[in-house]
Amino acid sequence: MRRTTTAVVGALAVMMVAACGSDSGSGSGGGGEITGTVTMWTNPIYDENAMREHYEQQAAEFMEEHPGVDVDITVNPWQGAQEQLTAALAAGEGPDVAYLIPDRIPTLASQDLLTPLGAALGEDREDFHDNALEAVTYDGEIYAVPVLQSVIPQVYDKRVLDAAGVGEPPTTWDAFLEAAEKVQAAGYYMTEYPGHLEMTLNISFYPWLHQAGGSVFADDGESVAFNSPEGVEALEYLTSLVENGYTPSGAISEPSNIEQSEVSRGNVAQVSAEPQRLIELWGAENVLVAPPLENREQVAYGTVGAYGVLSTTDNTDAAQAWVNWISRPEALREFDVESGYFAPRRSLDDLYADDPVLGDVEKLIPMTSTFGPHPAKSVEVMTTLRVEVQAALLGRKSPAEALADAEAEANRILAAG
Amino acid sequence: MSTTQRSAPPPSNVAHRAGVLLRRREARIAYAFILPYVSLFLLFRIVPAAGSIALSFADYSLAGRFSWVGLDHYERLGSDPLVGEALVVTAVYTVIAVPLIVVSSLGMALLIRRPTRGVKFFRSVFFLPVMTSLVFAGVIWRWIYADNGAINSLLDGIGLSSVSWLSSGTLVLPVLASVATWARFGFDMLIFLAALLSVPAELEEAARVDGARWWQVFRYVVLPHLRPALFFVLVIETVHSFQVFDVIYVMTAGGPVRSSTTLVFLLYQRGFEFFEFGYAAAIGVVLFVITIAVAIVQGRFFGRSRT
């Protein structure tokens, strides 16, 4: 127990005496010229060395423009990145600028840890996709500047569809079930539903919920809305996929990456994933990209990567200027192509016009959503709902029971604030 | 002219004072030696632990907002069904893991206690898992126990049906306990081995001459000598089982459903996913109290005497 106390709670104790705020320098110099050191924490969005080179080049140009500013870039591994930022912020040692995803923005913004950036964006905001800005907005304010968008479309293994005699990828829930029967008869799985507890519901359950016409939260974000006829329909549909053996049962509870899954073995017809990974696994010639499935709605998840300015910084002006710099169209053109993601700017909507696969995916950006609104407790709500969805898929509860239980707990979480 | 003749102190007093001075000097040296450890222990263990206890009576946000909330977190603990569930999971895991680890390590120690050919090799090999990162090992074990993993492939190969090791709420804790056993038995085996080597060979020999069977020799001669080691291992493994986190984090993420969500995993979620540091600290304090209580009970049963 003592080791637990030291390792886990020890960090907590440090927080009690830690002062907040970076001490990396001043803010702005005389005459409006920005000064100080801007520390940026990011993660390896693509090849770490190439990404570091990109940002170092951007930093050199930025510092030439603003001689009083020094930019320090740290690329932290994805593993434990959230805990690292949490611990650093708690100890008052956080960066000035951090890479953020939509799920984390409400949590940080609700604790006044992010600086509003809407005013700093100015008229430039018109160039950003609406769904990209929605993803970084909390309580009506923009808290991060998007630098990339992803699309999680339906991706089909052409070899499996051919073997099953399915001519075209299905685009509706009904057609999906019809295709599933044929695929199963040919000895394959129709899909691999990732129901394990490490998987974000943004990719697993939420797309089905929204396609059924439901939503996670009520419009005001004060309560949850997933326990609805649409929500039950979505979960019943998924449960039927499991019961009929259209998806491998192991994927419901075993955390795994795609390389160890049935997908990588060529045993699955459809997967909801970024096609770039599947091109590597299956070969571009076997990858078929299809629009999101349609029931009442036709929608897919697409995340947004963005940079936010921590409110603990002493160099707000310099940090905002740096974030604006790295999100300029000319900077994003290189960054997004190198990373294989899509640009959040309308002026860069044709990045992949010459790519047969990614060009098709790029056109799906308007169909993507991050399934907001995202209240401050959206991560907790997702954790609660994820467990109950898994319980339904494993047959421990009926879909209606699971959603009702999740609703009760989630509303308690939201009410507690 | 007068002279004063001082009487010399009795020899016994001189020796006594010299002894006292020597002991004081030795004590000062001893204190000097332990001072660095004590300082670090206070700084990195006691102070954080005390801070944690204090934090359990407060709310603390990442932005630095701090407020005392009295017993609020403890009241919430009492009515939080997830805490009760996690407590049961932790207890069940401990009940499975501790006997498994103790029996395995004791059995292995008994097997390799005799200085036979190649025994040093086996002692080293058995200790290897102790030096392996459990996070890394957990990834491998996850593949082994996966639906399409090595064990099910083996079962398929011999005509048996596959088992959903990690999807079953019933099997997941024994599976995790088996991984913990693999990781821990080498360390405990060494402790038992040291204790076994201290058992006088003539006692065992005499018992055998008197007609005692293997089990009787073990039960009435060997086991009483192992009592201190057994107590130590039981306490260490119980504490370790109450702390289990890494293997769960890697292999099951607390699932399926909440079948492997232990108290420490819940503490991690509350503290590092939801930033409820005060509540997480309260869970930690409760876990600490429970662990101490269990260790005291174990002491009553196993630690009273050597025989």
Mean pLDDT calculated for residue range B133-137: 88
At residue A98, the 3 state secondary structure works out as strand
The residues with which B67 forms a beta bridge, in sequence order, are B59
Structure tokens at B214: 């293997």
Mean model confidence pLDDT for chain A = 89
Mean pLDDT calculated for residue range B214-237: 92
Mean pLDDT calculated for residue range A356-362: 88
Residue B166 at interface with chain A, using a CB cutoff of 8 Å: yes
How many contiguous H segments (helices) and E segments (strands) does chain B have? 14, 2
- Min distance B192 CA to chain A CA atoms (Å): 22
Contact A396 B257 (CB under 8 A): yes
At residue B3, the 3 state secondary structure works out as coil
Structure tokens at A394: 């494993």
Residues B137 and B251 in one domain: yes
Measure Cα distances from A348 to A120, A134, A334, A353 in Å.
21, 18, 11, 10
Residues B203 and B167 in one domain: yes
Which residues fall within 8 angstroms of residue A260, CB to CB, at 6 or more apart?
A: B143, B146
The verdict on residue B117 lying in a domain is: yes
A281 close to A264: Cβ distance less than 8 angstroms: yes
Residues B50 and B85 in one domain: no
By Cβ distance, the residue of A4, A111, A250 closest to B146 is A250
pLDDT digits (tens, 9 = 90+) for A237-255: 999 999 999 999 888 988 7
Domain ranges of chain A: 33-151+303-366, 154-301+377-416
A264 close to A258: Cβ distance less than 8 angstroms: yes
- The label of the residue with tokens 């075993």 reads A254
Structure tokens at A100: 């953020």
Contact A380 B61 (CB under 8 A): no
Mean pLDDT calculated for residue range B31-41: 93
Mean model confidence pLDDT for chain B = 89
Which residues fall within 8 angstroms of residue A102, CB to CB, at 6 or more apart?
A: A135, A136, A303, A304, A306, A370, A372, A374
Selected residues 154-183 of chain A with any CB under 8 Å from a CB in chain B: none
Residue B58: half-sphere exposure toward Cβ, Cα within 13 Å: 16
B142 close to B195: Cβ distance less than 8 angstroms: no
At residue B191, the 3 state secondary structure works out as helix
A114 vs A143: CA distance, rounded Å: 6
Q: How confident is the model at residue B2 (pLDDT cuts 50, 70, 90)?
A: very low
- Give the chain B residue whose CA is nearest to the CA of A19: B64
What phi and psi values does residue A357 have, to the nearest 5 degrees? -90, -55
- The label of the residue with tokens 């089905």 reads A208
Measure Cα distances from A266 to A25, A283, A342, B159 in Å.
54, 11, 27, 24
CATH number at residue B220: 1.10.3720.10
Structure tokens at A377: 């407790």
Residues B242 and B93 in one domain: yes
Structure tokens at A122: 């100015």
A307 close to A40: Cβ distance less than 8 angstroms: yes
Residues B48 and B176 in one domain: no
Q: How confident is the model at residue A395 (pLDDT cuts 50, 70, 90)?
A: very high
Helix pair angle (B81-111, B277-302), 10° resolution: 40
CATH number for A154-301+377-416 (one of 3.40.50.12240, 1.10.1040.10, 3.40.190.10, 3.40.1110.10): it is 3.40.190.10
The verdict on residue B186 lying in a domain is: yes
A204 vs A188: CA distance, rounded Å: 20
ipTM: 0.78
Structure tokens at A332: 């994003």
pLDDT at B114: 81
- The label of the residue with tokens 């930022």 reads A85
- Min distance A359 CA to chain B CA atoms (Å): 35
By Cβ distance, the residue of A9, A12, A249 closest to B167 is A249
Per the document, the length of chain B is 307
- Min distance A76 CA to chain B CA atoms (Å): 17
Query: What burial class does residue A305 get, using C-beta atoms within 10 Å of its C-beta: 0-12 exposed, 13-18 middle, 19+ buried?
Result: buried
pLDDT at B258: 93
A59 vs A325: CA distance, rounded Å: 9
The verdict on residue B63 lying in a domain is: no
The verdict on residue B121 lying in a domain is: yes
B248 close to B262: Cβ distance less than 8 angstroms: yes
Measure Cα distances from A165 to A56, A184, B35, B183 in Å.
51, 11, 77, 49
Is the pLDDT score of A20 beyond 70? no
Residue A107 at interface with chain B, using a CB cutoff of 8 Å: yes
Give the best residue of B167, B171, B246, B291 to mutate against chain A (max A CB count within 10 A): B167
- Min distance B267 CA to chain A CA atoms (Å): 9
- Min distance B230 CA to chain A CA atoms (Å): 19
Is the pLDDT score of A38 beyond 50? yes
Q: Tell me the whole-structure pTM to 2 decimals.
A: 0.82
A124 vs A118: CA distance, rounded Å: 10
Selected residues 213-272 of chain B with any CB under 8 Å from a CB in chain A: 239, 242-243, 245, 251-258, 264, 267-269, 271-272
Q: What percent of chain A has pLDDT over 70?
A: 92
What sign results for the dihedral spanned by CA atoms B203, B205, B210, B214?
positive
CA dihedral angle for residue A229, residue A235, residue A238, residue A239, rounded to 10 degrees: -110
**Domain A33-151+303-366 is classified in which CATH homologous superfamily?**
Periplasmic binding protein-like II (3.40.190.10)
A112 vs A109: CA distance, rounded Å: 5
pLDDT at A32: 58
A27 close to A307: Cβ distance less than 8 angstroms: no
How many contiguous H segments (helices) and E segments (strands) does chain A have? 18, 13
DSSP string computed for A50-71 = HHHHHHHHHHHHHHHH-TTEEE
Mean pLDDT calculated for residue range A297-324: 94
- Give the chain B residue whose CA is nearest to the CA of A20: B64
Omega prior to A373 cis, within 30 of 0? yes
DSSP string computed for A337-379 = HHHT-B-SBGGGTTTTTT-TTHHHHHTTGGGEE------TTHH
A157 close to A258: Cβ distance less than 8 angstroms: no
Residue B147 at interface with chain A, using a CB cutoff of 8 Å: yes
Q: Which residues of A touch B268 (CB under 8 A)?
A: 8
Number of domains present in the structure of chain B: 2
Asked whether this chain's domains A33-151+303-366 and A154-301+377-416 adopt the same fold, the reply is: yes
B138 close to B250: Cβ distance less than 8 angstroms: yes
Mean pLDDT calculated for residue range A11-15: 41
A320 close to A117: Cβ distance less than 8 angstroms: yes
pLDDT digits (tens, 9 = 90+) for A130-160: 999 999 999 899 999 999 999 999 999 999 9
A109 close to A143: Cβ distance less than 8 angstroms: yes
Structure tokens at B227: 């009592």
pLDDT at A28: 46
Under DSSP, the state recorded for A28 is B
pLDDT digits (tens, 9 = 90+) for A370-381: 998 888 889 899
A357 close to A290: Cβ distance less than 8 angstroms: no
Structure tokens at A61: 């140009």
pLDDT at A309: 96
Q: How many CB pairs under 8 A join A and B?
A: 167
Q: What would you report as the CA-atom Rg of chain A, rounded to the nearest whole angstrom?
A: 22
The verdict on residue B6 lying in a domain is: no
pLDDT at A159: 96
Is the pLDDT score of A330 beyond 90? yes
Contact A394 B257 (CB under 8 A): yes
pLDDT at B154: 94
Give B124 or A405, the one with higher predicted confidence: A405
Q: Which residues of B touch A107 (CB under 8 A)?
A: 275
Q: Which amino acid type is present at position B42? A: L
Lowest mean pLDDT among A20-34, A265-279, B79-93, B172-186: A20-34
- Give the chain A residue whose CA is nearest to the CA of B253: A197
Is the pLDDT score of A30 beyond 80? no
A348 close to A275: Cβ distance less than 8 angstroms: no
Residue A408 at interface with chain B, using a CB cutoff of 8 Å: no
Per the document, the length of chain A is 417
- The label of the residue with tokens 């003592």 reads A2
Is the pLDDT score of B3 beyond 70? no
pLDDT digits (tens, 9 = 90+) for A58-76: 999 999 999 999 999 999 9
- Min distance B234 CA to chain A CA atoms (Å): 14
Residues B77 and B48 in one domain: no
Q: Which domain holds residue B33?
A: 11-55
The verdict on residue B155 lying in a domain is: yes
Is the pLDDT score of A19 beyond 80? no
Residue B17: half-sphere exposure toward Cβ, Cα within 13 Å: 5
- Give the chain A residue whose CA is nearest to the CA of B61: A111
pLDDT digits (tens, 9 = 90+) for B137-181: 999 999 899 988 899 999 999 999 989 899 899 999 999 999 999
Selected residues 32-91 of chain A with any CB under 8 Å from a CB in chain B: 82-83, 86, 89-90
The residues with which B64 forms a beta bridge, in sequence order, are none
pLDDT digits (tens, 9 = 90+) for B8-33: 566 667 777 777 877 888 889 999 99
Residues B33 and B132 in one domain: no
Residues B169 and B86 in one domain: yes
DSSP string computed for A266-304 = T-EEEEES-HHHHHHHH-GGGEEEEPPPBSS-B-EE--E
Residues B86 and B191 in one domain: yes
The verdict on residue B5 lying in a domain is: no
Structure tokens at B64: 């630095």
A107 vs B104: CA distance, rounded Å: 46
Residues B173 and B44 in one domain: no
Contact B280 A3 (CB under 8 A): no
Is the pLDDT score of A80 beyond 60? yes
pLDDT digits (tens, 9 = 90+) for B60-81: 877 778 899 999 999 999 999 9
A387 close to A227: Cβ distance less than 8 angstroms: no
Residues B39 and B188 in one domain: no
By Cβ distance, the residue of A86, A112, A196 closest to B253 is A196
Contact B253 A250 (CB under 8 A): no
Contact A253 B167 (CB under 8 A): yes
Contact B147 A250 (CB under 8 A): yes
B254 vs A232: CA distance, rounded Å: 25
Contact A86 B66 (CB under 8 A): no
The residues with which A301 forms a beta bridge, in sequence order, are A369
